Chain A
Amino acid sequence: MTVYYESTILRAGEEAQDMVDGGVVILYADPIPDALESVSVVHSPAAKPEREVRVGDIFRLGDAEIELTAVGERAHENLQTLGHIVVYLNPDEGTTLLPGAVHGRGTVSLPAAGATLTLSGGSTT
Chain B
Amino acid sequence: MTETHTTRAVFVRPGEGGWGKGLLLRADGKRDKVLSVTGGGIHPVAARIAELTGAEAVDGFHTSVPDDEVVAAVINCGGTARIGVYPRKGLPTVDVYPGAPGGPLAKFITEELFVSAVGVKEVTEADSETGTVPPKVPPRAERPSARDVAATVTGGQSTGFGRAFDSVSGVFVKFGSGVGSFVNTMLASGRQTVELTLTTILPFMAYVSLLLGIVNYTGIARGIANVLSPIASNPLGLVVISLVVSLPFLSPILGPGAAIAQVVGTLMGSQIAIGALPVQYALPTLFAINGQVGCDFIPVGLALGEAKPETVAVGTPAVLISRLITAPLAVIIAWGASFGL
8 closest A-B pairs (Cβ-Cβ)?
A100-B78, A22-B150, A98-B79, A23-B154, A18-B147, A18-B146, A86-B80, A81-B39
Contact A36 B40 (CB under 8 A): no
Interface 9-residue window, one of A44-52, A56-64, A88-96, A116-124: A88-96
Complex-state Cα separation, A22 to B67, whole angstroms: 27
* B155 is an interface residue with CB less than 8 A from chain A: yes
Complex-state Cα separation, A65 to B314, whole angstroms: 42
Contact A22 B173 (CB under 8 A): no
Contact A95 B37 (CB under 8 A): no
Interface 9-residue window, one of B45-53, B96-104, B129-137, B278-286: B96-104
Complex-state Cα separation, A101 to B153, whole angstroms: 13
Complex-state Cα separation, A82 to B103, whole angstroms: 19
Please give, as numbers and ranges, the residues of chain A lying within 8 Å of B40 by CB-CB distance: 81
List CB contacts (< 8 Å) of B38-73 with chain A. 39-40, 60-62, 64, 67, 73
Chain A nearest CB: distance from B144 CB in Å?
10
CB contacts between A and B, total, < 8 Å: 121
Which chain A residue shows the least CB distance to B170? Answer: A93
Q: Interface residues of A, CB < 8 Å — how many?
A: 39
Contact B150 A18 (CB under 8 A): yes
A38, A40, A93, A98: most-surrounded residue (chain B CB, <10 A): A98
Given A36-B85, A88-B153, A99-B97, 4 other A-B residues pairs in contact with their CB atoms under 8 A: A19-B104, A22-B152, A26-B81, A33-B61
Whether A24 contacts B173 in the complex (CB less than 8 A), given A18-B146, A33-B35, A81-B40, comes out as no
List CB contacts (< 8 Å) of B72-103 with chain A. 73, 77-82, 85-86, 89, 91, 97, 99, 102-103
Complex-state Cα separation, A94 to B172, whole angstroms: 12
Please give, as numbers and ranges, the residues of chain B lying within 8 Å of A22 by CB-CB distance: 104, 146-154, 156
Q: Interface residues of B, CB < 8 Å — how many?
A: 42
Which chain B residue shows the least CB distance to A28? Answer: B81
Complex-state Cα separation, A26 to B80, whole angstroms: 8
Contact B170 A35 (CB under 8 A): no
Contact A33 B37 (CB under 8 A): yes
Complex-state Cα separation, A96 to B174, whole angstroms: 16
* B266 is an interface residue with CB less than 8 A from chain A: no
Please give, as numbers and ranges, the residues of chain B lying within 8 Å of A86 by CB-CB distance: 78-81, 103
Contact B78 A21 (CB under 8 A): no
Chain B nearest CB: distance from A4 CB in Å?
20
Chain A nearest CB: distance from B41 CB in Å?
11
Chain A nearest CB: distance from B135 CB in Å?
16
* B145 is an interface residue with CB less than 8 A from chain A: yes
Which chain B residue shows the least CB distance to A90? Answer: B154
* A11 is an interface residue with CB less than 8 A from chain B: no
Complex-state Cα separation, A18 to B152, whole angstroms: 12
Complex-state Cα separation, A31 to B78, whole angstroms: 19
Contact A23 B89 (CB under 8 A): no
**Set A36, A38, A75, A78: member contacting B37, Cβ < 8 A:** A36
* B197 is an interface residue with CB less than 8 A from chain A: no
**Set B85, B145, B148: member contacting A35, Cβ < 8 A:** B85
Contact A93 B177 (CB under 8 A): yes
